[in-house]
Structure 1
Amino acid sequence: MSELSSETKWSSLEKIGFRFISIYFLLIVLFQNNGAFPFWYKIFKIPQGWLNKLIPWMGANVYGVPYEISIKLTGSGDTTFDYLVILTAFLVAIITAILWSILDRKRNNYIKLYYWLTLAVRYYVGLMLISYGLVKVIQLQFSYPGPYRLISSYGESSPMGLAWTFLGFSKGYNLFMGIAELLAGLLLFRRTMTFGALVTLMTAMNIMAVNYFYDIPVKILSTHLVVMTLFLLSRDIKRLTIFFFKGVSTKLEVIKRPEFKKGINIAMNVFKGLLIGYVFIYGFINAIEAEKQYGSKAPKPDLYGVYEVTNFVINGDTITNYKNEKLWKSIAIQREGSMQIRKFDNSKEYFGIEKDSLVADKFKVTSWSDDSKSYDFNYKKVDSTGLDFDFIFERDTIYGASKRLDKKDFLLTKRGFHWISEYPYNR
């Protein structure tokens, strides 16, 4: 982009490109906000409702999508709905840029509009990464491997599950990633924008790479974070190239803010301070509370852990044939209200748990995949190391004994950290 002064005359290509980018980025910020701006879902509730009706209609009648387009939030940011929003924003930006270019073809530049666009992009990327950074510092996004994960093999993991296990294992690495993402806060200040964009580009590219190569459904968002950061760097790319690759001294210029009356300047600075304070302080407090609700400090179920089945008796007969489809290998309880049963063929089944309020050592279990598969599960703790259980299912009286596995029983959780390693311990 040309030098950004009020007297500069931009080339036709620069003006057309800026018109497209400004419309496209604006639509992304508005309709793919992902909670970057506080209270955005409440502020933008009505327009979002319009979009939720428009996109499925366009999908069926304009784009010819052969299946129903769901607007339900699923935790994925790469749904058909999301891709159609991006496609629609792209097409609207092209059409609008063409009309804008025809109607405003005599304008020299868009210096003031450039400032406001960079402001929106800086805060969108900065606040987005700050929110992600906070949940990594507190280690909420990538939780430490729980019982379900510890008894799963690598081959059973999805690429995303493998990434979550890898990233969640180390609290220190979570802290490192979180601090790197929090440094995107440098984008919120004009004087540190370029340095912040350099740091943020490396962080955002790493996020994008993990999302692409481990098939994590946040590809759309992470790609836009990279593209937007590159846009912020574009004004200084020539100077940075001269400095880093030619060794020639240069000077970076701070984006100039339009001149306002003193009262407006004060109001804008106060608002900025309140916004940043809210995002960091409330975000940190909210993350601490979330950690107590569903993070590492959340209350654990009474029977939390992995129990290796050591004895399994059906109708008085002890089952020792590992090929018997009824033989259990382990019981795992990780979350309140759920239980995982694993058999020797490595098949697993999840059950919902409904505690019996009248009987202490009893709960009702119901298969998540088959509601008719339900029975009363009686259990008895054996010291702190085991669990005996019995139940009746499909006319079979079943009794079992199990041994509780601790962290020391899993290589992943017992290996620890070593400064000195005579040989690589790659298992």
Structure 2
Amino acid sequence: MMEQLQSAAEEWSFLKKLGFRFFFTLFVLFVLFYPNGFFPYFDYLFEIYIQPFRSLIPWIGTHILHTTNEAAAHPTGSGDTLYDWVTLFFISMLSVAVTIVWSIVPTNRKNYNVLYYWLTVLVRYYLAFTMLTYGFYKVFKLQFPFPSSGTLMEPYGNSSPMRLAWTFMGFSKGYNYFTGFGEVFSGVFLLFRRTKTMGALLSLVVAANVMAINYCFDVPVKLLSTTLVVMSLFLLAKDLQRLLQFLVLNTTAAPADIATPTFKKPWINKALVVVKYGTILFIFVTYIYQGSEALSQYGDDAPKPALYGIYTTEQFVKNKDTLTPLATDSLYWHKLIVGSYGYATVMAMNDSLHAYVFETDTAAKKITMYTDADTTNKSILQYSQMNNTLQLNGIWQHDTVSIKMQQFPLQNFRLINRGFHWVSEYPFNK
């Protein structure tokens, strides 16, 4: 079995034992219910054991919490769904119940030093791999893409707080590197016992900043980011007195106790070292490979669609009648905004926006447009492009149209052409 830590003779107080039992149960359950890709391919195992709870959680929401809507599990890209919050309630109540039972059962155990060590290992690796995941996404600039043509045309006032945050982050590649490497370094430091305090301090700063953005800009990852802050504080709790002595009181701080429980059979300890470094190497190779592959599909350097950009209408002919561009007209195209991922937006003269699936056949010089709500009603337009002029001819909503458009150079946007300046005589806040 395992040899005890040096402080094995220390006797914990009842409150310390109580707190440990609760957080031990809570953190273990949180990792199991919110793996968050904390280990590659762990999701396959997650899909097996989570199945019974996908029926239990909605039942708890309906019959115990009396939620108005059903707390059903459904992938939406949000980490703060009703299902997620009911799950958090469930594991919190289960942690309280386990803590009570654990405290009632008679035991002569003076402390939980060994179990505490393995809990910190779990929390360190979960926090580290989460930081590494988000960090590499920023380093490869996959999480926050550069503002699209549609975003550049959207007024500030029409933007959601989350879109505003995404635009702010996506504009600067340098700031992505700064925040991304901060997360990567904190993750690396957390992987080793000697640097875990440094990693926890750095992850606390990084995670607190992310949490603040999530709360202040209504980004639906509040639950996870808050947990990362709590986990960082948990890892720092043991060193709190040392940190106060060194950082606040300016006195000598004792070295950290980084003793680790070991198995009596040496081969087991050696095997654990091999597994640890093998896992770290696997994680880094996986993140770098996946990030490099994703760059060609989702990053700023990914190929843009053939007609990507913003086009302003110069002439709109409907059924052989040339329409006058009136400010109240909801039919006349004022602008066509072609974005990535097969979508485009038509801005009418009255500034109303209409989103369409936008399929381009470059060989046949043909565009097919339709809405997600009605995939059967499709409009087909032939296109020709010369220099910056785009000509569209065909059927649009059962009418024959001929539309002549002029492409708007994206470099004309101040956000893009302003650039960087070491010397500024006056603030350029426009």
Q: TM-score, normalised by structure 2?
A: 0.94
Gaps of 5+ in 2: none
- Cα deviations by residue, 1:372-407 (Å, 9 ceiling, x for unpaired): 653211211022x12111233355332221111223
Alignment match, 2:342:
337
Alignment match, 2:253:
250
Alignment match, 2:158:
156
For structure 1, which segment, 171-180 or 38-47, has the greater mean C-alpha deviation from structure 2 after superposition? 38-47
Q: Find the residue that maps to 1:264 and give its secondary structure.
A: helix
The number of equivalent residue pairs is 423
Gaps of 5+ in 1: none
**Counterparts in 2 of 1:45 and 1:336: CA distance versus 1, 3 Å:** closer
- CA drift at 1:298: 2.1
**Counterparts in 2 of 1:287 and 1:168: CA distance versus 1, 3 Å:** same
Contact map agreement 2:323 2:332 (CA 8 A) in 1: no
1:293 matched to 2:297? The reply is: yes
| Distance (whole Å) between structure 1 residues aligned to residue 132 and residue 112 of structure 2 | 29
1:389 matched to 2:359? The reply is: no
Q: Find the residue that maps to 1:419 and give its secondary structure.
A: coil
Residue from 180, 201, 210 that aligns with 2:204: 201
| Distance (whole Å) between structure 2 residues aligned to residue 97 and residue 362 of structure 1 | 65
Alignment match, 1:279:
283
Contact map agreement 2:315 2:404 (CA 8 A) in 1: yes
- Cα deviations by residue, 1:230-260 (Å, 9 ceiling, x for unpaired): 0000001011112211111112313321121
The letter for the 1-side match of 2:338 is: I
Alignment match, 2:427:
424
- CA drift at 1:4: 8.2
Alignment match, 1:67:
69
- Cα deviations by residue, 1:94-118 (Å, 9 ceiling, x for unpaired): 0110110111454211000000000
**Counterparts in 2 of 1:141 and 1:22: CA distance versus 1, 3 Å:** same
For structure 1, which segment, 21-30 or 343-352, has the greater mean C-alpha deviation from structure 2 after superposition? 343-352
CA RMSD of aligned residues (A): 1.7
**Counterparts in 2 of 1:104 and 1:228: CA distance versus 1, 3 Å:** farther
Alignment match, 1:346:
351
The 5 Å alignment of 1:14-413 reads 14-104=16-106, 106-184=108-186, 185-260=188-263, 261-314=265-318, 315-355=320-360, 360-371=364-375, 373-383=377-387, 385-413=388-416
| Distance (whole Å) between structure 1 residues aligned to residue 48 and residue 140 of structure 2 | 33
Contact map agreement 2:162 2:218 (CA 8 A) in 1: yes
- CA drift at 1:38: 1.9
| Distance (whole Å) between structure 2 residues aligned to residue 15 and residue 176 of structure 1 | 40
| Distance (whole Å) between structure 1 residues aligned to residue 384 and residue 257 of structure 2 | 69
- Cα deviations by residue, 1:153-196 (Å, 9 ceiling, x for unpaired): 11111000000000000000001111000012211100001111
- Cα deviations by residue, 1:317-341 (Å, 9 ceiling, x for unpaired): 2323222121212111112432211
Contact map agreement 1:313 1:319 (CA 8 A) in 2: no
**Counterparts in 2 of 1:107 and 1:70: CA distance versus 1, 3 Å:** same
Q: Find the residue that maps to 2:50 and give its secondary structure.
A: helix
**Counterparts in 2 of 1:221 and 1:104: CA distance versus 1, 3 Å:** farther
The letter for the 2-side match of 1:321 is: L
- Cα deviations by residue, 1:397-421 (Å, 9 ceiling, x for unpaired): 3222111122321111111111111
| Distance (whole Å) between structure 1 residues aligned to residue 6 and residue 235 of structure 2 | 13
| Distance (whole Å) between structure 2 residues aligned to residue 164 and residue 4 of structure 1 | 49
| Distance (whole Å) between structure 1 residues aligned to residue 235 and residue 359 of structure 2 | 53
| Distance (whole Å) between structure 2 residues aligned to residue 177 and residue 25 of structure 1 | 26
- CA drift at 1:370: 4.2
The letter for the 1-side match of 2:174 is: G
- CA drift at 1:297: 2.6
